[in-house]
Amino acid sequence: MKNHCGVMLLVLMSLGCEQTSSVKTPASVASSSAAVAQPPIKVTPIKPVRKTLVRMVEQPGQVEAFEEAPLFAKVTGYVRKLYVDLGAKVTGPKYDSTGKQSAPGQVLCELAIPELNEEHAQKLALIEQAEANVQQAVSGIQVAEATVASAHAKVAESEAAAERDQAVYDRWKSEAARVAELVKSGSLSQKVSDETSSQLQAADADRRQTAAKVRSATAMTYEAKALVEKAKSDHVAARARLKVATADAERTKTMLDYTLIRAPFDGRIGARHIHIGHLVRAAAGGNDSPLLIVVGIDKVRVKVDVPEADAVLIQDGCHATVRVPSSPGTSFPGKVARSGWSLDPATRTLRVEIDVDNVSGTLRQGMYVTSELKAAVRENVLALPRASVLTMDKVTFCHVIDTTGKVSRAPVRLGIQSGAEVEIQSGLTGDEHVIGANSAAFKEGQMVEVVPPLPTPAK
């Protein structure tokens, strides 16, 4: 009996639940009716506009000197004089139209090196000694050449004497032969023959003596010529020693020139690390401190780091405007002169340098500035507000409305962005009606009411 009552109870409870779930309350009915009866959203679309877009990139920057030269000592010495101080204007070397230096740079500092002065004086004395040796060698050549001429004269004299003695010998030889014939015939005595033979022998001796003198004079000629060659070699050696002495003196003179620290270009003294009396040593690199630092001021470099998104747009020659936040209303025109081309892997930025004329000296090294770069100019392109373009699932698109009021997606390819507008490179023709505001609130296929209504296409 108890089991039967339980089954009946379960059946009644299930029937009650089904009736409850199938009954709709007045509130739910009203809500459903409202959803069905809700009118389409009113939308005022826009059209893409053809215009010129300019992409401006504004980034902070820092002013640096166009040229900066740390000046070190080339030689070791004491600071004798210091002609400039911190911030002083200095002038560099001047050049003529051919590029030849017409005037040296301004002397900024003078070092004292007494031992170098003495060494230079010694080198000058060695030059004088070498010049005297050259002159002595020239005189030796002249003496040797005179000796050659004298030897040639001796040879000529000896040869003339030899010819004379040969003639005497030939005469006495002929006479001796004639006398010998006469002695044989008995016409002359033997005594006359003996005297003739003695004269012939004397003539022969004179002839042989003169021949020896000719040979001796000829040998003296060769010796004199050798002396000329030796004198010429001595002259060459003396001139070489003079060149060495001159070069050595020029070296010490150059070292003395290093005692004058000159301005390498027009500018100002950006730093000074010396005083009169300081001992400065020849720079060996490493951590040596410069004596002075000269910075150029007539032109400055403004260094700017451009983000990766705009880096590809920056080209040499881009127009730029530099502004000084500490001096409102002050701006300087310039151009992008150079860039690092590669991006910094740590910051993903491109280092760009803008050259700016600074004859007035307003811009100073280390100043914080802002720069506005004209990165790109696109003429006669389609443009839309950036807010009307969406990106979803790696697809860039905008919502367009057809003549029936239906919303659809139109994939587009974007170009540069200029302020609140963006370039439409492809995807639109310019005749489309685009949802320009709150585009993310609409969905593809949604029906909207265009205000004012779109014109009905002609049949």
Structure tokens at 210: 């003169």
Half-sphere exposure (Cβ direction) of 334: Cα atoms closer than 13 Å: 27
Q: Which of 356, 377, 398 is the last residue of a domain?
A: 377
Length of the chain: 459
Is the pLDDT assigned to residue 237 strictly greater than 60?
yes
Shared domain for 218 and 105, answered yes or no, is no
State the chain's mean pLDDT as an integer. Answer: 86
- What are the pLDDT digits (tens) for 400-431? 999 889 999 999 999 999 989 999 999 999 99
CATH number for the domain spanning 139: value is: 1.10.287.620
Shared domain for 249 and 183, answered yes or no, is yes
Average pLDDT over residues 311-331: 91
Average pLDDT over residues 177-201: 80
Shared domain for 101 and 125, answered yes or no, is no
446: in domain: yes
Gap between the Cα atoms of 65 and 366, Å rounded: 9
Shared domain for 313 and 361, answered yes or no, is yes
Shared domain for 222 and 154, answered yes or no, is yes
Shared domain for 162 and 246, answered yes or no, is yes
Q: Which residue did the predictor score with more confidence, 10 or 323?
A: 323
Distance, C-alpha 441 to centroid of its chain: 58
28: in domain: no
321: in domain: yes
146: in domain: yes
The three-state DSSP-derived secondary structure of the chain is: CHHHHHHHHHHHHHHHHHHHHHCCCHHHHHHHHHHHHCCCEEECCECCEEEEEEEEEEEEEEEEECCEEEECCCCCEEEEEECCCCCCEECCCEECCCCCEEECCCEEEEEECHHHHHHHHHHHHHHHHHHHHHHHHHHHHHHHHHHHHHHHHHHHHHHHHHHHHHHHHHHHHHHHHHHHHHHHHCCCCHHHHHHHHHHHHHHHHHHHHHHHHHHHHHHHHHHHHHHHHHHHHHHHHHHHHHHHHHHHHHHHHHHHHCCEEECCCCEEEEEECCCCCCEECCCCCCCCCCCEEEECCCEEEEEEEEEHHHHCCCCCCCEEEEECCCCCCCEEEEEEEEEEEEEECCCCEEEEEEEEECCCCCCCCCCEEEEEEEEEEEEEEEEEEHHHEEEECCEEEEEEECCCCEEEEEECEEEEEECCEEEEEECCCCCCCECCCCHHHCCCCCEEEECCCCCCCCC
Specify which residues 292 forms β-bridges with.
71, 272
Gap between the Cα atoms of 269 and 349, Å rounded: 32
7: in domain: no
Q: Which of 341, 358, 377 is the last residue of a domain?
A: 377
Is the pLDDT assigned to residue 126 strictly greater than 90?
yes
Q: How confident is the model at residue 26, as a pLDDT?
A: 47
Is the pLDDT assigned to residue 35 strictly greater than 60?
no
Gap between the Cα atoms of 439 and 66, Å rounded: 49
Residues with Cβ within 8 Å of residue 50, at least 6 apart in sequence: 380, 381, 382, 383, 430
Is the pLDDT assigned to residue 31 strictly greater than 70?
no
Distance, C-alpha 106 to centroid of its chain: 24
CATH number for the domain spanning 346: value is: 2.40.30.170
Shared domain for 240 and 139, answered yes or no, is yes
247: in domain: yes
Q: How confident is the model at residue 7, as a pLDDT?
A: 38
Least reliable range by pLDDT among 65-74, 164-173, 300-309:
164-173
Specify which residues 400 forms β-bridges with.
408, 434
Which of 144-148, 282-286, 432-436 has the largest mean confidence? 432-436
Q: How many domains does the chain have?
A: 4
CATH number for the domain spanning 108: value is: 2.40.50
Which candidate, 318, 338, 339, 330, places its Cα nearest to that of 358?
Answer: 330
pLDDT band at 276 (very low <50, low <70, confident <90, very high): very high
Residues with Cβ within 8 Å of residue 44, at least 6 apart in sequence: 450, 451, 452
20: in domain: no
Q: How confident is the model at residue 324, as a pLDDT?
A: 93
What pTM, to 2 d.p., does this model score?
Answer: 0.63
Shared domain for 133 and 228, answered yes or no, is yes
Shared domain for 315 and 433, answered yes or no, is no
Q: How confident is the model at residue 171, as a pLDDT?
A: 84
Gap between the Cα atoms of 68 and 108, Å rounded: 15
5: in domain: no
Shared domain for 131 and 228, answered yes or no, is yes
Shared domain for 130 and 201, answered yes or no, is yes
- C-beta of residue 84 within 8 angstroms of C-beta of residue 90: yes
Full residue range of the structural domain in which residue 84 is found:
70-113+266-292
Shared domain for 311 and 384, answered yes or no, is no
